[in-house]
Chain A
């Protein structure tokens, strides 16, 4: 991911990707539910 592009500029680094964002968001939601900051979510 840090390879140089043909023009010689370093390619922008991919930070988290879909997986990373999904895990991070889910963990944040779980933390909010655990801290009772999200009212009970109904289905």
Chain B
């Protein structure tokens, strides 16, 4: 996976690096906007001709257009640096989305999410370890898959790879498996949610807890409804916040096996692995709760957040290269997929239980 290069050290000067990002960003804008236009035009066409066309969200169009491009003509090199900025738009969008949450709600739902995350983590990690052994995967690959499926996909795997000194091959296998599974869940979850008649809050929480990768979880929520998208982001953000603890746990385990460096300063380690955008999200939510923004300003910020997510969804499609994933072999996928199904079923039970108990 190419990293977002704005802050990467390199020989190129900053203006040149920013210039390199422009073609890819324009591609994200074009695909995202095309998705939005397609949704609007189809619904206008349906209305004008009194046709009952299925209402397909811009989220799905943007992802599909990206997928088609990535898997037919491929993404030419000139666009790649800019396309990799999708993660930046995702995080900026999440921070801006903070404006739609009162801090009290964040603490309440974030707290519920964290409690559910703790259960989910324990189950996912235990189950993945058993599966990894049954399928004779390399132990560190199993650790990476467990981290990826229990917390947050790619960024968790990258954080864990460094900490447990896993090799690049294991990391790319785990990333490919998690990305493929994320792509599948993104389409499956909304279908299951509608089938079960889940309410927006419950579905959002479920998607945030069970779909891997923040971008895919956000997209799955947004596909369901605007409100579900908002709650998916909150639950996923709470899940992301636990990344440092889990990675630290694995680092300590592998160090005790003599297969990784010891972690000297645990507080510094936790801070280093903590996703800092969570703080930005809390800060904006705090400002909104303090009444700093007027109603129309809140609406503008929420719209800015939607525009940022639009670029993210285009990027999700563009970076999903199914051909590349097929090359990686079936076993990591099977282990990942089985783990994923268990996580999805358990979190669904937890969310329905929590909804019945405390009313989400």
User: Which residues of A are interface residues toward B (Cβ below 8 A)?
Assistant: 11-23, 25-27, 29-30, 33-34, 36, 38, 40-43
Contact = CB atoms under 8 A, between A and B. Distances in A.
Given A18-B7, A43-B307, A30 B276 contact: no
Interface in B238-294: 275-277, 279-280, 283-284, 287, 292-293
Nearest to B280: A23
Contacts of B283: 23, 27
B101 to A, nearest CB: 14
B41 interface: no
Contacts of B88: 18, 21-22, 25
Closest 3 A/B residue pairs (Cβ)? A12-B9, A23-B280, A22-B91
26 contacts: A11-B9, A12-B9, A13-B9, A14-B8, A16-B7, A17-B7, A18-B88, A18-B91, A21-B6, A21-B88, A22-B90, A25-B92, A26-B91, A26-B92, A26-B95, A29-B96, A29-B301, A29-B304, A30-B99, A34-B292, A34-B293, A34-B297, A38-B300, A40-B296, A40-B299, A43-B306
Interface in B103-154: none
A33 B293 contact: yes
A15 B161 CA distance: 21
Contacts of A41: 300-301, 303-304, 307
B7 A21 contact: yes
Interface residues of B, number: 34
Interface string B182-204: 00000000000000000000000
Interface of B: 4, 6-9, 87-92, 94-96, 99, 275-277, 279-280, 283-284, 287, 292-293, 296-297, 299-301, 303-304, 306-307
A34 B277 CA distance: 20
Nearest to A24: B280
A22 B280 contact: yes
A43 B287 CA distance: 22
A30 B96 contact: yes
Contacts of B94: 22
Given A19-B276, A23-B277, A30-B284, A42 B95 contact: no
Contacts of A26: 91-92, 95-96, 280, 284
B9 A40 contact: no
